[in-house]
Structure 1
Amino acid sequence: MPLEKYIDHTNLKPTATTTDIEALCKEAIEYNFYAVCVNGCHVSSAKKVLRGTHIKIAAVVGFPLGAMSFKAKVQEAVDCIENGADEIDMVINIGWLKSKDYDAVREEIEAIKKAIGDHVLKVIIETCFLSNEEKEIACRLAVEAKADYVKTSTGFGTGGATLQDVALMKRVVGDNAKIKASGGIKTREEALKYIELGVSRIGTSSGPSLIQ
């Protein structure tokens, strides 16, 4: 599969304007990326530009802290889907995970997956804040909750994707979930290394330079 088909072309900046999102979508069309990844308020704008194309829209939920209420996250996911999102990238409740309230973490993921039905759910575990043991637990919870993907990072924490984290995640999820590497992937060489490790999607704001 060509590299462009792994890329979620991303702009999650708080300063992103409607014009910026339109430009992101036009680049996705030009480079034939798999998807764009945007904040929820930009889903309808992205939908207008991408209508009639094969390019998917991924919307982030509970972003970037993961700390809003259970009900708010579920409703946010539903709202994004109703506005035209094809996929949801949700941030887990990191505080609950660190409190060892694993049932609550799992139930939140399950509730969002149930609410969005057949739409793809990616679970951002924000590896930079977790011990290796916590990363493993987070991946297991995502699989138990029937998530489609586990994802490394928001890109807004203290660190992004690492090859070591992706190897750990792959070991835990096996073929039970796909993996999205996100945060700090700036070069084609880096992207290809992640793909070799088994990543199915790469979240990056540097998509055009990766292809060029």
Structure 2
Amino acid sequence: MILSNFIDHTNLKPMASLSEIQKLCGEAKNYGFYAVCVNGCHVSLAAEELKNTKVKIAAVVGFPLGAMSTEAKIFEARECVKNGADEIDMVINIGWLKSNEDSKVRNEIKSIKRVIGDKILKVILENCYLTTSEKEKACTLAVEAGADFVKTSTGFGSGGATFEDVILMKKIVGDKLGVKASGGIKDKETALKYIDLGVSRIGTSSGIILLN
């Protein structure tokens, strides 16, 4: 098991400069991280920096609140893929989920997956705002909509990944979807525990620390 192969090396700060994104990409190449995860405005730059490398580009969509229109998310996802993104990390509409608008949540995920085609779609649940039953429902809807991953958190909410949430998510999605743990993962021991629990990707801005 090579830890770097699990890591989405992340900088989603609103104040991230172009030089910081270039630095992120350079680190991803040097340390062999699976992907970088960036905001949509930086996808073109990341694509240029990572050209002819194995490092993937993940772009966030509907970030961090998930509360914009489905049409806006679809446009954003399409633009990110056009500019070089290999993966899309989208935030669900939490208000719809809590309002039992299951078909709207499902159809939004399905619509975004349709426009990105064979690119990877990760669905961010933002578990810190959800009850256990809502987490279970969100995972089920992601499976039904044809997503590729469920993801714990944006890292911008009131809480990040927890072992309990990953266990619950893995129980619901089984082998149908991957699970990405993200938010507050800052040391190697914690990362390895998440991998033991079945995650196949870890989102962190502390990737280099995790490897030491």
Give the TM-score range, shorter chain: over 0.9
1:39 is aligned to 2:61: no
1:207 corresponding residue in structure 2: 207
Gaps of 5+ in 1: none
Residue 119 of structure 1 deviates from its aligned partner by 0.2
Q: Check if 1:11 corresponds to 2:11.
A: yes
* Unmatched tracts of structure 2, length 5 or more: none
Structure 1 position 178, deviation (Å)? 0.5
Distance, in Å, in 1 between the alignment partners of 2:140 and 2:73 is 20
Alignment of 1:55-204 (within 5 A): 55-204=55-204
What secondary structure is seen at the aligned counterpart in 1 of 2:158? coil
| RMSD after superposition | 0.4
One-letter amino acid of the counterpart of residue 37, structure 2: C
Letter of the 1:119 partner, please give it: K
Letter in 1 for 2:179: I
Q: Distance in 2 between matches of 1:122 and 1:98?
A: 20
Tell me which amino acid in the other structure corresponds to 2:156: F
How much identity, in percent, do the aligned residues show? 67
Aligned to 1:122, the other structure's residue is in SS state strand
| Structure 1 Cα separation of the partners of residues 13 and 53 of structure 2 | 24
In 2: Cα distance, 1:107 partner to 1:48 partner: 33
Is the partner of 2:89 in helix, strand or coil?
strand
Match of 1:21?
Answer: 21
- Three-state SS of the structure 1 residue aligned to 2:147 is coil
- 2:43 maps to a residue whose letter is V
Amino acid in the other structure paired with 2:51: R
Q: For residue 102 of structure 1, what is the amino acid of its counterpart?
A: D
Question: Alignment partner of 2:157: what SS?
Answer: coil
TM-score (norm 2): 1.00
Deviation at 1:50, TM superposition (A): 0.3
TM-fit CA distance, 1:83: 0.3
Following the alignment from structure 1 to structure 2, what is the Cα–Cα distance between the partners of residues 9 and 59? 12
Aligned residues: 212
Matching residue's letter, 2:155:
G
- TM superposition shift of 1:125: 0.4
SS in 2 for 1:136: helix
Offset, 1:143? 0.3
Give the TM-score, by structure 1 length. 1.00
Q: Work out the CA distance in 2 between the residues paired with 1:155 and 1:138.
A: 18
